[in-house]
Amino acid sequence: MTISTNTTDDLQLVFQNLKLKARITSRTSVKERIDKLKKLEAYLRIPANITSLETALYADFKKHPVEVMSSEISAIIQQITHVKKNLSRWMADKVVDTPITLVGTSSWIKYESKGVCLILSPWNYPFNLSILPLIYAIAAGNTVLLKPSELAAHTAHFINNMLSELYPQDEVTVLEGDASLASRLLSLPFNHIYFTGSPQIGKVVMAAAAQHLSSVTLELGGKSPAIIEKSAPISEAAEKCVWAKHFNNGQTCIAPDYLLVEESVAEEFTKAYQKSISAFYNPENKGIKNSPDYCRIINNRHFNRIKALFDDAISKGAKVLAGGEFDETERFISPTLLGNVSHDMKIMEEEIFGPVMPMMTFKDINEVVEIIYEKPKPLSLYVASKNNAFINEIISKTSSGGTVINDYLLGYLNPELPFGGVNNSGLGKAMGFHSFVDFSNERGIVKRNFGTLSFIYPPYNGFKQKLVSFLAFKLS
């Protein structure tokens, strides 16, 4: 549904309906929750629905069907399959050890739903990053209000139609609207808020959540470095980097944001990078702009933002090693590699979120560590190297949400791994059991089976003081 009123009355009604239904969904069985996810899976296996989603994403991005399937649909099918396989185990009470001081009791953790969850999804992977958190919110027994990004309007409309068909509105509500709608939603006392977007807006979401002490998951971003060490197979390293940087036209939160290349292989890497760009997007010499495999920047505002970063870098001495073509009428930016980059350039301070790659060189590992350490902790960190000592030193001396060695983006594809940032790049973890826990309250339960603690009840005396000391120091 679409909310157009400027009052909060409609939103309050939607919220109250979700809150009432949450008392029922919180008690649903494993089978009931899996059945809900099976409906979603079945919908996505219908060819006509796949075609409709491809059409929507092409209208928003000019996104190729291969990228739609690989980044928007297959990831969701994989996550549903993972939940179906594991939900029974996740939902089961987890018995924990009982210390000797609590003899006569048993303890366990019960995973209960949080209640009503708000999902504010982004525009860069508008289907995937809307539906993935929804899967885990449903798996944990919550009701959901989902607001997809208005910047990917065609995909948002597809999501609205799909979920309206699959679920009752008091279980899953989709609201289409702009940023003002998001602001009004954030005034409501949701039990949990799941936001994917920029650190700047993440701070706004967190401040709003604090008014109701709502828990939050913030999937943000940042400047994820790609380190190329001399022992890496340079041609292969460049090829992988070009793919990861330009998948979805660089509009990926875990895309490599800037390059740190060992000086002795910088020239070789540059040539291999240029060659990979041509091989991927201009194999028949018809021009990258004519490639059906190269999508576009989401809107003119983001186009101009990236162009401003590029212009600032050029004005401060950066050199174009590849690309550098901008066409605002098509929102086209060619795959661009910049050399002679310095830290005073805005492109080394702000997340790029587009197909422009600044490259710096280094002579030793200490330079790499210092560059990374001086920036906010990134969402992802990439290392191309065959030198295990180099790899281990990078890992031990830096911090990031995730790390991928000798490839890119793969951390998002393993549901057994936690996915998320650190501080400025995010709070909370997604994927698999980690997402289930994020949408759940871990309720600690202690049951007295026999015995009592009456021997330390007041009034106190010397014997009780000695007994408490014995329990504290001798039995712990």
295 in active site = no
The whole-angstrom separation of Cα 364 and Cα 373 is 15
Residue 433 burial class via C-beta count within 10 angstroms: exposed 0-12, middle 13-18, buried 19 and up: buried
The whole-angstrom separation of Cα 243 and Cα 255 is 10
Architecture label for domain 225-420: 3-Layer(aba) Sandwich (3.40)
219 in active site = yes
What is the pLDDT at residue 1? 54
The whole-angstrom separation of Cα 317 and Cα 341 is 7
A 10 A CB-CB count for 414 gives 14
- CB-based burial, 284-306: b 16+ in 10 Å, e otherwise: eeeebeeeeebbbbbeeebbebb
Cα dihedral across residues 125, 130, 135, 136: positive or negative: positive
What is the pLDDT at residue 23? 97
What is the pLDDT at residue 4? 47
- pTM (2 decimals)? 0.94
Distance between alpha carbon 224 and the CA centroid of its chain, in Å?
Answer: 13
Q: Which two tokens stand for residue 231?
A: 């022992």
Secondary-structure percent of the chain, ordered helix, strand, coil, rounded to 5: 50, 20, 35
Q: Which of 241, 253, 262, 295 is catalytic?
A: 253
What is the pLDDT at residue 176? 96
Q: What is the amino acid identity at position 377? A: K
Q: Which of 67, 72, 171, 219 is catalytic?
A: 219
What is the pLDDT at residue 205? 98
> How many Å is the Cα radius of gyration of the chain?
26
Closest CA to 375 of 341, 419, 408, 423: 423
Q: Where are the domains of the chain?
A: 9-220+427-443, 225-420
* Contact (CB, 8 A) for 249 and 355: yes
**Fold of the domain built from segment(s) 9-220+427-443:** Aldehyde Dehydrogenase; Chain A, domain 1 (3.40.605)
What is the pLDDT at residue 7? 62
The whole-angstrom separation of Cα 440 and Cα 113 is 5
Distance between alpha carbon 273 and the CA centroid of its chain, in Å?
Answer: 27
Enclosing H/E stretch for 165? helix 153-166
For the chain, 476 residues long, give each residue's pLDDT as a single digit of tens.
Answer: 545 444 678 999 999 999 999 999 999 999 999 999 999 999 999 999 999 999 999 999 999 999 999 999 999 999 999 999 999 999 999 999 999 888 999 999 999 999 999 999 999 999 999 999 999 999 999 999 999 999 999 999 999 999 999 999 999 999 999 999 999 999 999 999 999 999 999 999 999 999 999 999 999 999 999 999 999 999 999 999 999 999 999 999 999 999 999 999 999 999 999 999 999 999 999 999 999 999 999 999 999 999 999 999 999 999 999 999 999 999 999 999 999 999 999 999 999 999 999 999 999 999 999 999 999 999 999 999 999 999 999 999 999 999 999 999 998 889 999 999 999 999 999 999 999 999 999 999 999 999 988 888 999 999 989 988 888 887 76
